[in-house]
């Protein structure tokens, strides 16, 4: 995706399902806006709008987007229109200011492995890596929302995806405001 002058001018970029191309575009876009703003007072910077409508995707690439948002001096506002699920849910939660349309849906789930036909030793290694990544994602949620370890553990014990609407996302501190229009 090539950014055009209007996207830069309005500081808006969208995130669908997370893959190599769009994650690199978003990371580059946020860095480019920070470069443009480098001579501006931090309090005078106009925020970047990251519009999210995502079922999730590549976890590692999502963590790259998250690190970029968290390290951005120019505020990054995450805005959900539609869905913020899986890794899209974690990205949504780390925005400097987070809003969602009234009909948005959010979803959290535990990580999963594709066991395939690899050897047991490789499965053990993959499980260790999955636990490491899940701990990172959960820690981000504890830091940026009102979710607690105890509550998230109870959700995980149900062994199913956890869906919520915008009102519930607001209640759990995943978003700051619901867009009613």
5-179 topology per CATH: 2-enoyl-CoA Hydratase; Chain A, domain 1 (3.90.226)
Known catalytic residues are 86, 109
Instruction: Quickly list DSSP for 52-81.
Output: EEE--B-HHHHHHHHHHHHH-SS-EEEEEE
Question: What per-residue confidence (pLDDT) applies to 128?
Answer: 87
Question: What per-residue confidence (pLDDT) applies to 116?
Answer: 59
pLDDT digits (tens, 9 = 90+) for 84-100: 999 999 999 999 999 99
Q: Note if the pTM is more than 0.85.
A: yes
Question: What per-residue confidence (pLDDT) applies to 38?
Answer: 95
DSSP helix, strand, coil percent of the chain (3-state; round to 5): 50, 20, 30
Hey, how many other C-beta atoms are within 10 angstroms of the C-beta on 71? 11
- Low-confidence stretches of the chain (pLDDT < 70) are 1-7, 112-120, 181
């Amino acid at each position: 995706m090539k950014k055009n002058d209007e996207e830069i001018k309005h500081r808006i970029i969208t995130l669908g399902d997370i893959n190599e191309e769009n994650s690199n575009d978003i990371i580059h876009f946020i860095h480019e806006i920070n470069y443009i703003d480098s001579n501006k007072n931090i309090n005078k910077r106009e925020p970047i709008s990251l519009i999210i409508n995502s079922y999730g995707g590549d976890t590692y690439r999502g963590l790259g987007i998250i690190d970029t948002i968290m390290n951005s001096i120019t505020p990054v506002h995450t805005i959900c229109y539609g869905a913020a699920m899986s890794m899209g849910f974690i990205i949504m939660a780390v925005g400097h200011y987070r809003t969602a349309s009234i009909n948005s849906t959010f979803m959290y789930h535990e990580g999963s492995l594709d066991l395939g036909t690899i050897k047991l030793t490789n499965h053990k290694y993959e499980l260790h890596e999955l636990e490491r990544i899940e701990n990172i994602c959960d820690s981000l949620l504890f830091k940026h929302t009102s979710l607690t370890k105890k509550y998230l553990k109870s959700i995980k014990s149900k062994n199913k995806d956890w869906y919520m609407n915008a009102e519930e996302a607001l209640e759990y501190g995943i978003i700051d405001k619901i867009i009613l229009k």
